[in-house]
């Protein structure tokens, strides 16, 4: 499979002194306050920070894009020698969907529900004239395979609602990879997925950017996620850089107090134990709707306690809560 157009190690993107303002409450506010960022070809930069820190604004600006209501007031965004901040939208569109692509948080909201996945995966590649339809389709099937999607030769014939959330997020990654961009911006692409699915999707994203030597900006608020993905981590707060360092160094020896506070896992204080009065006790629950959903589930909740029910999509969490009405009728074998 062909690769993109840059050589590993070359500076691909160089942002200097970037300032962006956003308009709200009838005035302009500073959102990005003088950020510098360097990204080499094939490198993955993790952008981490709390909600509202400016991660998405910066990630989009790396592609030369500002959302409606935002404006670049200072700085340069040099992508492969061209200052994107100086280009018109028409000129920038030549880069979008070709040399740079974007994977959003919610794949479900980003797909057209009425078009087959493979049509959407290949649309911008075909439109940009990078591949003809047949080659783009063949390549999409290979990308599905690299991304560990089931039945890669045929899954593209499905519509978005016919695959799971994790699968759709992978299809979106295939779509972003289809034109073989030099830069891929992932904006919290696994936040909406359950933990086990998240791990699998992350692994496939990691392997695909490596395979094609694609530089990436990986935005997240989750440290465990960024540690898996990034070569370098930049921490952002209030639109300013807190610090930047290679991933290992950042994890083992963060310099700034704010970063340390992100890293330290605060154990939740346990509520005071009172006398244990059982409120609900379920024993040995089986449930089925043709296929078995629950098998021998026990559960006990005491007064004042909060019980967390954790599991991947489809594991039976809602059924276990017994509030899922179609199942209430088919639960058997149950002592409550």
Structure token digits, residue 103: 């994977």
Range in contact with Mg ion (rule: CB under 5 A) among 51-59, 61-69, 280-288, 305-313:
51-59
Among 52, 246, 311, 314, binds ligand ADP (CB under 6 A): 52
Q: Which residue number, 56 or 178, has a Cβ lying nearer to Mg ion? A: 56
Per CB under 6 A, does 31 bind ligand ADP? yes
Q: Which residue number, 57 or 167, has a Cβ lying nearer to ligand ADP? A: 57
Per CB under 5 A, does 56 bind Mg ion? yes
**Crossing angle of helices 165-177/117-127, nearest 10°?**
20
d(CA 164, CA 167): 5
Please name which of 46, 76, 41 lies closest in space to residue 226, comparing C-alpha atoms.
46
Range in contact with Mg ion (rule: CB under 5 A) among 50-58, 65-73, 189-197, 251-259:
50-58
Among 7, 10, 23, 150, binds ligand ADP (CB under 6 A): 23
**Crossing angle of helices 195-211/133-146, nearest 10°?**
130
Question: Which of Mg ion, ligand ADP, none does residue 51 bind to, with CB < 5 to 8 Å depending on kind?
Answer: ligand ADP
Contacts of ligand ADP in 304-333 (CB under 6 A): none
Burial class (CB in 10 A: 0-12, 13-18, 19+), 161: exposed
Per CB under 6 A, does 67 bind ligand ADP? yes
**Could you tell me the smallest distance in angstroms from the CB atom of residue 56 to Mg ion?**
3
Structure token digits, residue 119: 């049509």
**Could you tell me the smallest distance in angstroms from the CB atom of residue 173 to Mg ion?**
18
d(CA 235, CA 258): 9
Question: Which of Mg ion, ligand ADP, none does residue 97 bind to, with CB < 5 to 8 Å depending on kind?
Answer: none
Local structure of 207: helix, strand or coil: helix
Please name which of 299, 292, 301, 298 lies closest in space to residue 331, comparing C-alpha atoms.
292
- For the chain, first and last CA: distance in Å? 58
Range in contact with ligand ADP (rule: CB under 6 A) among 44-52, 201-209, 224-232, 249-257:
44-52
Range in contact with ligand ADP (rule: CB under 6 A) among 19-27, 173-181, 210-218, 274-282:
19-27
Residue 269 DSSP label: P
Interface residues with ligand ADP (CB under 6 A)? 22-24, 31, 49, 51-57, 67-70
């Amino acid at each position: 499979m062909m690769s993109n157009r840059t050589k590993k190690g070359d500076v691909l993107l160089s942002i200097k002194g970037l300032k962006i303002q956003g308009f709200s409450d009838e005035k302009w506010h500073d959102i990005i306050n003088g950020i510098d960022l360097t990204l080499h070809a094939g490198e993955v930069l993790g952008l981490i920070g709390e909600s509202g820190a400016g991660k998405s604004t910066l990630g989009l600006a790396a592609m030369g894009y500002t959302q409606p209501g935002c404006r670049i007031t200072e700085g340069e965004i040099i992508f492969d020698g061209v200052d994107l901040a100086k280009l018109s939208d028409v000129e920038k569109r030549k880069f979008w969907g070709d040399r740079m692509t974007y994977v959003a948080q919610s794949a479900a909201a980003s797909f057209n529900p009425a078009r087959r996945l493979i049509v959407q995966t290949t649309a911008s590649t075909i439109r940009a004239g990078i591949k003809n339809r047949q080659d783009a389709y063949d390549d999409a099937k290979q990308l599905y395979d690299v991304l560990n999607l089931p039945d890669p030769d045929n899954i593209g014939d499905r519509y978005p609602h016919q695959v799971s959330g994790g699968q759709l997020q992978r299809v979106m990654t295939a779509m972003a990879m289809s034109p073989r961009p030099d830069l891929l911006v992932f904006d919290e692409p696994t936040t909406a997925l359950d933990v086990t699915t998240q791990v699998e999707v992350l692994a496939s994203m990691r392997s695909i950017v490596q395979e094609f030597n694609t530089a990436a900006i990986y935005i997240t608020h989750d440290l465990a996620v960024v540690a898996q993905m990034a070569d370098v981590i930049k921490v952002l707060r209030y639109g300013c850089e807190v610090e930047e360092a290679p991933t290992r160094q950042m994890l083992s020896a963060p310099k700034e107090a704010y970063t340390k506070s992100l890293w330290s896992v605060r154990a939740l204080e346990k509520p005071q134990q009172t006398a244990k009065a059982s409120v609900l006790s379920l024993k040995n629950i089986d449930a089925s709707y043709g296929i078995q959903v629950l098998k021998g589930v026990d559960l006990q909740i005491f007064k004042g306690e909060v019980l967390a029910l954790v599991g991947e999509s489809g594991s039976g969490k809602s059924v276990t809560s017994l509030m899922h009405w179609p199942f209430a009728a088919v639960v058997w074998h149950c002592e409550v």
